[in-house]
Structure 1
Amino acid sequence: MDKYFVNLEGETPKYVIITKHIKKLIDTNNIEDGEKLPSIRSLSKFLKVNNVTIVNAYKKLQNEGYAVQKMGSGSYAKKKDITKNFRKEYSEALKKIAGKAMQEYIDFTGETPSNNFFPVQSFKDVLNEVLDRDGAEALIYQEALGYEGLRTSISEVFWNKNIKSDNILIVSGAQQGIDIVSKALINTNDSVIVEKPTYSGALSVFKWRRANIYEVPMEENGIDIDKFEKILKKNNIKCFYTMSYFQNPTGMSYSIRKKQQILNLAEIYDFYIIEDDYLAELIYDKRIEYKSFKSLDKNDRVIYIKSFSKIFLPGIRIGYLIPTARFKESIENSKINTDISTSSLMQRALDLYIRKGLWKDYMSNLNEIYKSRYLLMESYIKLYLEDKIEFISPGGGINFYLKIKDFIDMDSIQLFRKAKNKNVLITPGTLFYKNPLEGKRYFKIGFSQIDEDSMKKGLNIINELLE
């Protein structure tokens, strides 16, 4: 009963104070969903108020969706799902302020590098060279698996010829890659494991395939292996979807040891790994060593997906996929049935861009620029928000994942709405969980689209809202 104690002094009506206190207990899980609330008589006696005050408080809780009354039994706590329909609200809000209107906002939602750093002139020169070399063929000629020259470049430059060009499939970005793989692998009621939290686009694809989705919590160096294996022992798992570097949204990266453990488990329990190699080019902490699941895979268990769009230029929409031998044909057929071919001109241009060494130079420059921004953002988060949030520095990538401390009476959806009204955009954590309620205390902020002044101003506004 002690948790129900609240100071009732002040001008605010007592029943309002009691209602607010019980709502907070429910929101913070101090009162469980479905837990029976104290009887009117016992709570009025404990708080030294009359019965009518408690009756009014319970009625207000019911009206606001925080309690239900069962005839002859009493009142019971009800966890209000404020996340219902929020995904739609969030998407529509960003659509409304897209384009020129976005310039009025401090945008912490960006998930791609700023176009201010894109080497327009050098890419323009490459495009012209491709058109001079290939003529109309660059615009018309298509290959189902992707342009052979680009597949060869990827094999030579990124895989040191350890992956044959015939085993590389060009796709229109990582999202299409996930979609193609899921169509080839996953049928209704197949079981998949995802990280908790995880990329919302992947969650949507697996839900659309009507898969049974199991979640394993992320730790600082990858998923919790013990909980992972418990799921594997009890269920016939088809595949595990993972973002191996700077996972979206947590920013965490897998240790090589944990990757090897997961690869061993894949062989023991006969499942496949869908590796979404996200932002691995942006490693700032040199203690993080780059070795993908695919590069460590000795038993052909990893289906590898890489997007050039995220790190290069979103409008280009190019990525690639490396299937396992078992699913190679079905994945290729899935790609052909989806859209036949990705832009021939852009594939040829990207091939030449890589062959000329321009890709390597651009990545080196981008890494230097974003390391500086990363360190600034990290320092400003500590300066403005450290007493109100918790976070782990990811050591790379383009965002931070923050947890609102429990003593603050605000969740990330409320923060999103209040911040939007002050022209600041954040990404609530509810979007990254199978059960959105689990992300209520989290939000993601990226630094790819904002300058130093905007960082300071935006974080200061968030700080004021969390006061």
Structure 2
Amino acid sequence: MKKYFINVNEEETPKYIIIERHIKKLIDSNKIEDGEKLPSIRVLAQLLGVNNITVVNAYKKLENEGHAVQKMGSGTYAKRKDINRNFKREYSETLKKISGNLQEYIDFTGETPSSSFFPVKLFKDVLNNVLDRDGADALIYQEALGYEGLRKSISNVFWKNRIRSNDILIVSGAQQGIDIVSKALINTNDSVIVEKPTYSGALSVFKWRRADIFEVPMGEDGIDIVKLEKILKKNTIKCFYTMSYFQNPTAVSYSEEKKIQILKLADIYDFYIIEDDYLSELIYDESMVYKSFKSLDKNDRVIYIKSFSKIFLPGIRIGYLIPPANFKESIQNSKINTDISTSSLMQRTLDLYIRKGFWKEYIANIRVLYKNRYIYMEQCLRKHLGDKVDFISPGGGLHFYMKIKDSLKINSITLFRLAKEKKVLLTPGILFYKSPSDGEKYFKLGFSQTDEEGIEKGIKIINNLMEV
């Protein structure tokens, strides 16, 4: 009965609402379990020093809002609403609402490098050079594949000319790349495989295409191959979506051995791999060697997607896509039907920025900056949350993925709400699963938008909240 006690005289809010809110919080945090019988009206009224009608009204409000159910002749029982289903909207609206006051928060939700590290003056000089060089031509639409100069730069600098520039398609970021590929390849009721958990933007695209989505759990070096092959044996799979480095949200990177196994299975079972190459530039562990699925692909099974927006500057919205020969035309047509051309000026500016060597310099600088921040955050997590969460050390990227220990009753939605009240923002794991309830005990902490002082302060606050 102790957990039900609350001082109802502390504020001006009606007493029945204070009681209802308190019980609702206990239900949401699993301190009152789903289906648990609530105290009788008389007993709770005596405990809180209120009259019976106050408790009756509190129970009625809980029932009306779906947090309790009354059984005739038996009493009132807790009912845990499926709060997960509508949480995505709540999360999005919360971030929108506070976007203008984000500096007041410790922000662990960021997924891109901080704009404070971006060399604005240098980029502005390059942009002006493009306008001086190309004049009005810099502002006109390009050919469907994208600006030829940028495609040649990508081929030369990132692929050592192993990929022809005519096989590269410029897109407006990774999200558009996933959407374009889905429109070209996936029809209603086609089957796709995703990692469990996976990027919520990809899940949304596949659901919108009305695909049948199969999930394969992630291990420490990629998905479970045995479970993958079980699905492949029983179903005709069109494609497998993967993030090969520092996966969002688990931060896992695939081993070369596992990549080769999956490529072999793609050939045997006739499916394609959509590789979203996410943040592979930010490798801090020197023992990790970069090899994409695409670079290991001998049978043209990989559709490679890369965004410059994730690592460079979100506002420029530029990425590229390398399709297999079989789907090159249909994917190009899908891009044309989605939009005519990605910003010509930004393509030309990025091309010159890469050609002048500024891109490599920028990546080298932020790799050093974020490696230091990564090391510091890992130390803080082990120091302050080591007894409350489990996590892997990814060796790169911009985030860590936490699993709340089973001994703790709190879930990630409750933690998100409590942390928000303390001006700390985190990302609950339910956003990354086909079935949201699978992510209740997980949350993601990014360090791209928060300095070392904020990192330790925020982690200490989360630690305190998890002790409640």
> What is the CA-CA distance between 1:84 and the residue it aligns to?
2.2
Aligned to 2:251: 251
Aligned to 1:295: 295
8 Å contact kept, 1:246–1:279: yes
Amino acid at match of 1:127: L
> What is the CA-CA distance between 1:80 and the residue it aligns to?
3.7
Distance 2:311 2:83 in 1: 34
Distance 1:27 1:234 in 2: 38
Aligned to 1:421: 421
Aligned to 2:186: 186
Aligned to 1:82: 83
> What is the CA-CA distance between 1:10 and the residue it aligns to?
9.0
Amino acid at match of 1:237: I
8 Å contact kept, 2:29–2:410: no
Matched, 1:151 2:151: yes
Amino acid at match of 2:176: Q
8 Å contact kept, 1:170–1:319: yes
8 Å contact kept, 2:27–2:80: no
Matched, 1:98 2:118: no
> What is the CA-CA distance between 1:68 and the residue it aligns to?
7.1
> What is the CA-CA distance between 1:284 and the residue it aligns to?
0.5
Which secondary structure does the structure 2 equivalent of 1:239 belong to? Answer: strand
Amino acid at match of 1:331: I
Amino acid at match of 2:92: S
Aligned to 1:51: none
8 Å contact kept, 1:430–1:438: yes
- Go from structure 1 to structure 2 and tell me whether the alpha carbon gap of 1:102 and 1:9 turns closer, same or farther (over 3 Å shift): closer
8 Å contact kept, 2:28–2:414: no
- Go from structure 1 to structure 2 and tell me whether the alpha carbon gap of 1:299 and 1:416 turns closer, same or farther (over 3 Å shift): same
8 Å contact kept, 2:29–2:409: no
Q: 1:377-392 alignment to 2 at 5 Å?
A: 377-392=377-392
8 Å contact kept, 1:147–1:344: yes
Distance 2:410 2:396 in 1: 28
Length-normalised TM-score, structure 1: 0.86
8 Å contact kept, 1:401–1:443: yes
Aligned to 1:198: 198
* Aligned length in residues: 431
8 Å contact kept, 1:24–1:409: no
Q: 1:38-437 alignment to 2 at 5 Å?
A: 63=63, 80-99=81-100, 101-437=101-437
Distance 2:109 2:312 in 1: 17
Which secondary structure does the structure 1 equivalent of 2:273 belong to? Answer: strand
Aligned to 1:464: 464
> What is the CA-CA distance between 1:352 and the residue it aligns to?
0.7
Which secondary structure does the structure 1 equivalent of 2:445 belong to? Answer: strand
Which secondary structure does the structure 1 equivalent of 2:82 belong to? Answer: coil
Aligned to 1:47: none
Further displaced range: 314-323 or 406-415: 406-415
> What is the CA-CA distance between 1:82 and the residue it aligns to?
1.9
Distance 2:68 2:263 in 1: 47
- Identical amino acids, percent of aligned pairs: 72
After TM superposition, the runs of 4+ consecutive aligned structure 1 residues lying more than 3 A away are: 8-13, 23-28, 62-72, 74-80
- Go from structure 1 to structure 2 and tell me whether the alpha carbon gap of 1:193 and 1:78 turns closer, same or farther (over 3 Å shift): farther
Structure 2 unmatched ranges of 5 or more: 7-18, 38-55
Amino acid at match of 2:375: L
> What is the CA-CA distance between 1:189 and the residue it aligns to?
0.2
